[in-house]
Every structure is written in C-alpha cells, then in structure tokens.
Amino acid sequence: MSILVYIESNQNQIKKSSFESLSYAKKLSKLISLDVIAVVINCSELAPLSDFGPDKIISINEKELELFNAHNYADVISNVSKSVSAKNIIISDSINCKYLASLLSVKLNAAFVSNVVSLPNSTNPFVVKRSTFSNKAFCEIEINSEIKILSISKNSIGLNENKSEPIIINPDINFTESKLTSESIKVSEEKVSIEDADVVVSAGRGLKGPENWNIVEDLAKTLNAATACSKPVSDMGWRPHSEHVGQTGKPVSTNLYIAIGISGAIQHLAGVSSSKVKVVINNDPEAPFFKVADYGIVGDAFEVVPKLNEKLKAFQAENN
Amino acid sequence: MKILVCISCVPDTTSKINFKNNDTEFDNSQIQYIINPNDEFGLTRAIWFKENDGAEIDVVSVGLDNNDQILRKALAIGADSAFRINQEALDSFQVAKLLSAHISNNNYDLVIAGRESIDYNGGMVPGIIAEILKFNYVTNCVGLEITDSSAEIKREIEGGVETLTCKLPLIIGAQKGLVEESDLKIPNMRGIMQARQKPFEIIQGKTEETKTKTIKFEKPESNKEIKLVSPDNLDELIQYLHNEAKVI
C-alpha cells in the first residue's frame, strides 16, 4: 500500500504545485505510515523531487504521452496506482490534474475531493477540509471510500523540504489510446499565467478603458506577475475572458494580489480570498475591497501605479 | 442532433453564505436560486445549435422540487424538454451516477455540464459521467463547433488554449468564454408561456450511493485591520510588503 503523487511537468521542468502535492503526501505519510511514490510522465529532470522526500519515483517515458491527454494520462495513472496499491492519490488543483482526476476516480472506484486545504484532521474516518461556495466558506468532508484522490489547493499547504534518496524505476506501461485528438496548442510565451504566478496584478473599471492597461502591464512586468481583471472588464471585451478573476471566472490563490481600480464585488472578493496578501489601490475609500485587503492606498491609479512601479524598480535594483 | 444540458441549481452569485444547525447545514433562507453560471454558458451554446442547426435540447437536474423553477427558466429560454431526477443531491459521485443512468436511457450526441458548480465547486460531475459511459470528455471548454458528427473543442489551458477534435458522442464542461456574456438569454413572456406547454418529467432516482459526506461548514476568518498607506509615501508600502508580508 502506498500514497501516490502525480507530478506535473512542463518542458522538462517540474511544476511548483507538484512539490506542494509531494509535501502534502509526505506529511500524510507520517499520519498513516505508508510510502510516498511519485509518478512522473515524460520528464527527465527528476533530481529536484528528492528535496521533498519521495521513497520511490516511477518515471514513465513514452512517446505517445508527449502531449497531455486526460483520458490517456488517467489510464496510465490508474494502472500505476493499481500496481502499487495506492490508497491515497495526491494531485495539485491545476486545470489538467482536476481534468484527469474525475476520470481516474471512476477507474479506481475512488472518491475524489477537490480544493483540499488541510491535512486530514482524522484518518479514521478520513476527514479533510476543502474550500467551497467559491471560497466563501470551507467544509469538512468525510470520505467513505477506500481509495481517495485529493487535489490540493495552491499555496494552502506550502512547500516542506525533506531530503530523500528515492529509488527510480522505469516501468513499461500499457494504456488504451483516447480518440480525442489534440490539433493545436497556443500558449502565450512571454506572459506569466495566472495559475503559475506568485504575484497577480489585477485591474477593473477604474482604469477607464483598455488603452490604459499599459500601467498594469508595466507593474506586472516589474513584479514578474500575471495580469488579471474584474468581470465587467472581461464582459466589455477590454481584456480576454481568461483574465477574469472571481466566482464565475477563475480563483486566484497567490502570494500577492494587487487590485487596481476594482471596487470589490462579493463575487470578485470570493475569487481572491485565498490569496495571502492583498493590496488595494482605489480612489474611492468606500470601495468594499478595503474591507478585505491587507494594505490599501486611497488614490488615483493613474498617478499611484506608475510611481509604485518606479519605486519597486529602484527597490529591486538596491536589493539585488 | 440531440443535446442534454445538465443543470445545477445554485445560490445567486451575490449571495452571502451562512450556515445553520450548528454549522452543519447551508442556510437557504433569503437565498435566490439560479442556473449555475457555467451550466448557463453551456445551455446558451446549446440554444445556438438549436437556432442554427435545428438541434433538440433536453435539460436535466438532480434535486427536489425547488429545482423546478430553474428548469422552467431553461425551457423559457429555449430548451425543449425538462427532466428532474427527484432525489436530494448528496455528493458529486451520486449526482453523476444518476445523470449517467438518464443519459444511457436516451441517445444524446452531446452532453453539456458546467465545469463546476459555483456552490460545491467539485468540478467532477461531467468527468465521472464520461468515464462511466465511455464518452470523449473535454472540460474548461471555451469553444465548441460541431459539423455532422465531428466536434472541434477549444479548452482553456494554463496560459493559453488547446484545440481538440473528436467524434460524437462527447461530454463537455462549459465555462466562461464558451459564449459571450451578451449572448445569455433572458426569458420573455412568450417564452415563459411556451414553457408551460413543454414536456416536464419527474424521474425517480435509483442510487443512494455516495463516497463523501459533508459534516461541517465554516466561514473564513474575518480579516485583520487594513493598513492604509499615503499615495505620497509608497516606500512605506514597499517596506511593508518586503519586511512584514515578505512577499517581495
């Protein structure tokens, strides 16, 4: 029996969220005394994994798995899970992980609990906390099935270094090939994605028009941040839907969230509530965002943002 | 083409969330229910297929009779028939099982569900159905075109979009971007009158099997006091972010 962690990589680089999954698994292993096994698909740079304590790494190299396909990946992970009698499967909350996990849960007759934010507060019965109501609340879930798939909310557990010397094995793998074909993938190369970013700079209607977004982008560039926006801004077509943060857009759990000219409708605040530190810049001191932020500036975004950008650049120059 | 849109009944997005009975139950007093927004994006796309390609649309929901009003709204904006599986929704697995049974009793070419509900946020119902029924499945769907029995699907990925193709049957998880916000339909009087004549069937559900149980709810801790910084003293903000919050 074991705890299996699915490790995601992008261009041979392991994703940070997978280190968090591994940190979770290692902590869980102390509670239920099972080995932690990492499964990696088509990634040769495995050394960083040993900083987070896996007992074993199952490294699969298969040309036909070069592109992510949820059906194929779920089949592979299911076969690996069965071969190591995995009782717990830990994954991140990424788009691809959640996509494959629902398929995997049926293959393994497992329960899948998403958006998990804590280690189990009891292991028999197995009870974990997850976020619900689009981050407006949390709930405790009791899992009644023998095999459990947990997807861990980004930044909820954090990274926990724990050196190990894992055995690496390269098994042969069989899977049933999916009839879903990937035709093309378009990814913006120069921009940081909201999902991967440690800092997100977000702006709302207060910016008055799409032509003014350069101040947001400049600040984001300085902070190596992703750009995001409020619902009205994406509805009006000022910014793409993929930047819309909130209840019907995407949730953001980042280290630093800077909201510029966003008043803070309840749906938007729900979407960002799990971000660690929130800064609000708004000329209206009554804006609801001031009630939930950690730091606030009451002022004109068109003056404050470029000035803040210059000050940050000077700060970075001094500290590097 | 026969389309099924699976609809979840959720609290309006502006709802304040509260709990009762010692935080073991959602407090639904003063809550307005709506079609889950992700499902509504999917329904709106289905109506486009009806208007342009003559598709036939069924809608289905798992729940008790308080779901009827949202199914009637779906009929009023363009769905042809509604089904309610008369069982309290307990967890995603049970809901997906009930929906799978309905789907396998009908020949749908395309099944549309939301990427996730905005109340439970499980994000797994369409995937579980797909695996039970061996349908092709794409979630985070932001584009869908169908020609004869072939589908071209756009799916949001981190930092971009992937285009996929497959043959029907297909199940998708819809989300924002699949249609424009301005395409969303508001029921008019004619639609509401017509909806009363449309088939509305109550089905008795057959599974009680669940894999999870919600035992307690809690609300996030209320925030500590905000620190205000003068726009003339931005260095102070940088110091806070560096020394206190340690995020830069």
pLDDT at A188: 84
B:145-164 residues touching chain A, CB 8 A cutoff: 152, 156-164
A281 to chain B: closest CA residue: B231
Region of poorest pLDDT, from A23-27, A186-190, B198-202? A186-190
Contact A199 B247 (CB under 8 A): yes
Q: Is the CB of residue A213 less than 8 Å away from at least one CB of chain B?
A: no
User: Which pair of tokens denotes residue B1?
Assistant: 């083409």
pLDDT at B221: 81
Contact A112 B92 (CB under 8 A): yes
Q: Which residues of B fall within a CB distance of 8 Å from A287? A: none
User: Which pair of tokens denotes residue B227?
Assistant: 């620190």
pLDDT tens per residue across span A105-126: 999 999 999 999 999 999 999 9
pLDDT over 70 (residue A287): yes
Cα separation of B177 and B171, whole Å?
17
Q: Which residues of A fall within a CB distance of 8 Å from B223? A: 291-294
Q: Is the CB of residue B220 less than 8 Å away from at least one CB of chain A?
A: yes
CA distance A165 to chain B (A): 32
A184 to chain B: closest CA residue: B163
pLDDT over 90 (residue A190): no
CB B157 within 8 Å of CB B22: no
Query: Which residue in the set A112, A248, A303 is minimally distant from B13, CB to CB?
Result: A248
Q: Is the CB of residue B209 less than 8 Å away from at least one CB of chain A?
A: no
pLDDT over 70 (residue A172): yes
User: Which pair of tokens denotes residue A195?
Assistant: 């999902």
Contact B162 A186 (CB under 8 A): yes
pLDDT at B223: 66
CA distance B161 to chain A (A): 5
pLDDT at B63: 97
Q: Is the CB of residue A128 less than 8 Å away from at least one CB of chain B?
A: no
SS3 percent helix, strand, coil of chain A, rounded to 5, is 35, 30, 40
Looking up tokens 């329960």 gives A111
Name the pTM for this structure: 0.96
Give the angle A183-A185-A187 at the CA atoms, nearest 5°: 170
Helix axes B125-133, B92-104, angle to 10 degrees: 40
Q: Of A222, A240, A239, A287, which Cα lies nearest the Cα of A259?
A: A287
Query: Which residue in the set A94, A95, A248 is minimally distant from B37, CB to CB?
Result: A248
pLDDT at A191: 81
Contact A181 B93 (CB under 8 A): no
Selected for mutation to probe chain B from A117, A128, A132, A138 (highest B CB count within 10 Å) is A132
Cα separation of A75 and A294, whole Å?
44
pLDDT tens per residue across span A256-275: 999 999 999 999 999 999 99
Parts of chain B with a pLDDT under 50 = none
Looking up tokens 């879930």 gives A141
pLDDT over 70 (residue A243): yes
CA distance A213 to chain B (A): 18
The ipTM, to two decimals, is 0.96
CA distance A179 to chain B (A): 6
Contact A103 B131 (CB under 8 A): yes
Query: Which residue in the set B132, B160, B219 is minimally distant from A106, CB to CB?
Result: B132
User: Which pair of tokens denotes residue B213?
Assistant: 């149980």
Burial class (CB in 10 A: 0-12, 13-18, 19+), A115: buried
User: Which pair of tokens denotes residue B111?
Assistant: 């099944």
Q: Which residues of A fall within a CB distance of 8 Å from B217? A: 132, 137-140
pLDDT at B208: 76
CA distance A185 to chain B (A): 4
Q: Which residues of A fall within a CB distance of 8 Å from B245? A: 256, 276-277, 294-295
Q: Is the CB of residue A222 less than 8 Å away from at least one CB of chain B?
A: no
Does residue A210 have a cis peptide bond before it, meaning omega lies within 30 degrees of 0? Answer: no
Percentage with pLDDT > 90 across chain A: 97
pLDDT tens per residue across span A125-158: 999 999 999 999 999 999 999 999 999 999 999 9
Q: Which residues of A fall within a CB distance of 8 Å from B14? A: 265-267
CA distance B119 to chain A (A): 4
Contact B213 A145 (CB under 8 A): no
Phi, psi of A277 (to 5 degrees): -120, 130
Question: How many CB atoms lie under 10 A from the CB of residue A203?
Answer: 29
Helix axes A214-222, A301-319, angle to 10 degrees: 20
Q: Which residues of A fall within a CB distance of 8 Å from B216? A: 139-140
User: Which pair of tokens denotes residue A188?
Assistant: 């913006």
Handedness of CA B96, B102, B105, B111 (dihedral sign): negative
